[in-house]
């Protein structure tokens, strides 16, 4: 068994770390209040640097796109610096992955090049508000050689700053994906959503009112749920990597505090109860990391185990990120509970990760289906 990275992977990880190094906590926090045009420029510039470093891999065909998604594991160092920034960058990669996997050659040639260089920002709209998803999901109708898209998508990562949005919609009973730009007639975005955590992400709700979609901007219609599953698994893997980065950083923050904070004449690190918590936090963080790496490896190897492993990794990582953040707050106590402290933010971010992507209840049911089918 070999748990080490190849020379190529080590090189990529070092180059990503060099891009991430100047991104201090203070700088990253400015993204939360930044005017959207400035944020858009900043995100594009970080994406460009990551693309040059080999940390933002946009494939030009299905195989390399899936490989690129699996390689998101190397971007873990970015997740460690900022979960929000990591998910922002991954949303662009997931948009690009959909085009690479499900678009035709001319669409790929037209759209992928600037994305691969990190210059444009992508978003994917799948989720709808409960009632809307039940009564009137986003839909596309044919109009001559073109299509018309109507509907709403909620909680779209990069919604207010995206150059391209991939919108899942129904077309004559099948899934289809419309690629639309923010300036197209009929496309509108809510203001940037104010959230409990993950405040560095620009999220909004998007509305589509009879938006004209040319034939070469429509993917599908698909006879199966392959595109939807591809996206959900990619997004869930990204969320698992994000949770691992958050846990690693949280263990570090709690351990630093425990080494230096004194109570009753000793550093609290000397207390067995604190040591036990730190030991459990590290165990959970390392286990999540191993499982997520294995899931990413299975995806890159196109193993039939990948589906179940990604779901297991996502459920394990997000649930334990919450647990680890809770224990870190217990250790850092008053200092951690102050608004703006790393642990206070990690606690709120961890909850956001647990809610994003496929719901853990739905993931567990899907894992059970995989067990029935394959194990
Ligand atoms: C930070 C963040 C970023 C996001 N980014 C995007 C994005 O870029 N694009 C996008 O399309 N969406 C995005 N989302 C939306 C996300 O993927 C979820 O769809 C959304 O958060 C679910 O919210 P909801 O209120 O619709 O929950 P619901 O799906 O209505 O769920 C409500 C509750 O019911 C449970 N539940 C739902 N279905 C079942 C079931 N079948 N069995 C058992 N229990 C069930 C859920 O677990 C939950 O407890 C994002 C969300 C977050 C938090």
pLDDT digits (tens, 9 = 90+) for 302-336: 899 999 999 999 999 999 999 999 999 999 999 99
Last residue of a domain, one of 72, 103, 121: 121
pLDDT of 62 over the 90 cut: no
Whole-number pLDDT of residue 181: 97
Is 85 found in the same domain as 146?
no
Domain that holds residue 22: 7-121
Do residues 227 and 175 lie in contact, with contact meaning Cβ atoms separated by under 8 Å? Answer: yes
Whole-number pLDDT of residue 54: 87
Whole-number pLDDT of residue 86: 97
Number of domains in the chain: 3
Answer whether residue 2 is part of any domain.
no
Q: What is the mean pLDDT of residues 232-248?
A: 97
Give the pLDDT band (50/70/90) at residue 131.
confident
Cα–Cα distance measured from residue 127 to residue 43, given in angstroms and rounded to the nearest whole number:
23
Rounded to 5 degrees, what are φ and ψ at 355? Answer: -90, -25
Which one, of 89, 98, 21, lies nearest residue 55 by Cα?
89
Per-residue b/e over 142-151, b at no fewer than 16 CB within 10 Å?
eeeeebbbbb
Do residues 234 and 97 lie in contact, with contact meaning Cβ atoms separated by under 8 Å? Answer: yes
Which one, of 217, 245, 238, 225, lies nearest residue 79 by Cα?
245
Do residues 171 and 219 lie in contact, with contact meaning Cβ atoms separated by under 8 Å? Answer: no
pLDDT of 190 over the 80 cut: yes
Answer whether residue 1 is part of any domain.
no
Is 231 found in the same domain as 366?
yes
Q: What is the DSSP code (8-state) at residue 144?
A: T
Whole-number pLDDT of residue 1: 76
CA of 251 to the centre of ligand 1 (A): 27
CA-proximal residue: ligand 1, atom 52 (nearest):
356
Which one, of 243, 229, 232, lies nearest residue 315 by Cα?
243
Is 131 found in the same domain as 83?
no
CA of 359 to the centre of ligand 1 (A): 6
Whole-number pLDDT of residue 183: 96
Span of 14-28, 48-62, 203-217, 299-313 with lowest mean pLDDT: 48-62
CA of 226 to the centre of ligand 1 (A): 20
Q: What is the mean pLDDT of residues 142-148?
A: 95
pLDDT of 102 over the 90 cut: yes
Does residue 220 sit in helix, strand or coil?
strand
Residues lining ligand 1, Cβ inside 6 A? 91, 124-127, 130, 153, 155-157, 198, 203, 352, 355-357, 359, 361-362
CB atoms within 10 A of CB 301: 12
Is 368 found in the same domain as 247?
yes
pLDDT of 239 over the 80 cut: yes
pLDDT of 4 over the 90 cut: no
Answer whether residue 296 is part of any domain.
yes
Give the pLDDT band (50/70/90) at residue 352.
very high
Whole-number pLDDT of residue 134: 78
Pocket test for ligand 1, best of 355, 358, 365 (most atoms within 8 A of CB): 355
pLDDT of 69 over the 80 cut: no
Is 322 found in the same domain as 182?
no
Whole-number pLDDT of residue 75: 92
Is 240 found in the same domain as 306?
yes
């Amino acid at each position: 068994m070999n748990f080490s990275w190849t020379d190529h992977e080590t090189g990529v990880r070092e180059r990503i770390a060099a891009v991430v190094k100047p991104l201090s906590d203070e700088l990253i926090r400015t993204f939360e209040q930044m005017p959207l045009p400035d944020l858009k420029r900043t995100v594009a510039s970080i994406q460009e640097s990551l693309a040059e470093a080999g940390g933002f891999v946009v494939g030009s065909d299905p195989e390399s796109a899936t490989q690129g998604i699996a390689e998101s594991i190397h971007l873990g160092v970015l997740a460690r610096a900022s979960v929000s920034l990591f998910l922002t960058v991954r949303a662009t990669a997931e948009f690009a992955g959909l085009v690479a996997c499900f678009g035709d050659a001319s669409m790929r040639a037209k759209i992928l090049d600037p994305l691969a260089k990190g210059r444009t920002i992508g978003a994917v709209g799948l989720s709808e508000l409960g009632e809307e998803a039940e009564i009137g999901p986003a839909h596309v109708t044919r109009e001559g050689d073109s299509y018309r898209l109507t509907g709403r998508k909620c909680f779209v990562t990069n919604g207010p700053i995206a150059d391209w949005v991939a919108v899942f919609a129904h077309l004559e009973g099948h899934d289809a994906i419309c690629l639309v730009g923010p300036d197209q007639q009929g496309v509108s975005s809510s203001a940037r959503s104010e959230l409990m955590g993950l405040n560095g992400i620009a999220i909004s709700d998007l509305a589509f009112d009879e938006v004209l979609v040319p034939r070469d901007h429509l993917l599908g219609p698909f006879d199966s749920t392959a595109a939807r599953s591809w996206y959900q698994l990619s997004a869930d893997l990204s969320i698992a990597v994000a949770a691992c980065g958050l846990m690693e950083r949280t263990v570090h923050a709690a351990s630093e505090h425990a080494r230096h904070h004194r109570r009753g004449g000793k550093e609290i690190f000397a207390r067995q109860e604190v040591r036990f918590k730190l030991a459990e936090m590290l165990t959970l963080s390392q286990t999540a990391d191993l499982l997520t790496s294995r899931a990413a490896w299975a995806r890159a190897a196109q193993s039939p185990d990948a589906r179940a492993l990604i779901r297991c990794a996502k459920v394990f990582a997000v649930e334990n990120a919450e647990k680890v953040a809770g224990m870190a707050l217990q250790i850092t106590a008053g200092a951690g509970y102050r608004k703006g402290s790393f642990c206070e933010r990690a606690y709120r971010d961890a909850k956001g990760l647990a809610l994003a992507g496929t719901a853990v209840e739905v993931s567990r049911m899907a894992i059970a289906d995989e067990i029935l089918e394959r194990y």
